[in-house]
Amino acid sequence: MKTFTSGMGRNLAARWGRPSQVALVAAALSFGVTSVSLAASEPSPEEAAAAADSAWTDLKFDLFGDRKLVEGTDVVSLDAPKRAADPAIVPMTIRLDPEKDIRKVTLVIDENPSPVAGTFTLAKGAGVTELSTRVRVNAYTDVHVVAEAADGTLYVTKQFVKAAGGCAAPAAKDPEVAAREMGRMKLRDFGEVEGAADRREAQLQIRHPNNSGLQKDQVTLLYIPAHFITDLDVERGGQPVFSMTGGISISEDPNFRFTYEGDSAEPFHVKAVDTEGKVFEETFPVTAS
């Protein structure tokens, strides 16, 4: 697996702009002009992002090889803000066609230091057709969602998100408070989904700093070691609903809102494991709040 960075080529393009602009600056300097405004030649963040080489070409090959990705369908959709209010807490909602037997969903933030935010495995018949979470976005980027059906077909959609600095943004919570509350969970059941009597909706919240490894201690200015939830399993009545393998792009205090099917009396059981090997488990009746 490659480590994906913006690369020297993209850094130069973002800094100096188009080749014609670079030539203009060079010509001015060669004739002794000393007051050339480099700022005027620098592209906007939108222009720099549009001109940069896309990381997706390499990412999709490393993640899915030569397998075909089907675009332009309604099998999978992504709802995300075009411009994020807070790059460290960017809401993402994934919707899946209930007529398709989707078994796996991969959320990829192309320009993040660790692009795969999370891979979600959906249990057969669990009714997970909508899944929301919050992520960090480090630079203007495409966000891709790839949904894999039981027959192996891969469906993909994308959305461009304007945000920057989310992976290095300071934690919102005091470290001592975060350590004290780490592992606490809350699950709320919202009842039946409007217009879908066979489907219900719930929300899981987990207290955890989910440190990215790119944040600095605001006192010592030293980097805070990466510490995040790597594995999550959600069950109902002893049967799996979904599981997640996560990375540094999931926001502080991970939050997952999801649909499900089944008897409302069955309790939920949640198990989470983090990078330090700490295990957090809790059982909830669906009326927990």
Q: 107: which 2 tokens?
A: 């959320």
> Residue 262: pLDDT band by 50, 70, 90 thresholds?
confident
User: Looking at this protein, which amino acid is placed at residue 74?
Assistant: D
Stretch among 35-39, 97-101, 255-259, 270-274 having the lowest mean pLDDT: 35-39
Residue 5: pLDDT over 80? no
> Residue 61: pLDDT band by 50, 70, 90 thresholds?
very high
What pLDDT score does 244 carry? Answer: 98
Report if pTM > 0.75.
Answer: yes
289: Cβ contacts below 8 Å, ≥ 6 apart: 186, 188
How does DSSP classify residue 79? E
168, burial (CB in 10 Å: exposed 0-12, middle 13-18, buried 19+): middle
For tokens 């300097």, what's the residue? 29
How far is 273 from 262, CA to CA, in rounded Å?
Answer: 26
Kindly give the residue spans of alpha helices, DSSP state H, lying in the chain. Answer: 7-16, 19-30, 38-41, 45-51, 56-64, 175-181
* Mean model confidence pLDDT for the chain: 86
> What are φ and ψ of residue 70, in 5° steps?
-85, 120
What pLDDT score does 31 carry? Answer: 42
Residues 64-95: b if buried by 16+ CB within 10 A, e if exposed: eeeeebeeeeebbbbebeeebebbbbbbbebb
Beta strands in 66-110 (DSSP E): 69-70, 76-79, 90-96, 102-109
172 or 205, higher pLDDT = 205
273 or 15, higher pLDDT = 273
Q: 48: which 2 tokens?
A: 């720099």
Quick one: which of 120, 107, 131 has its CA closest to 202?
Answer: 131
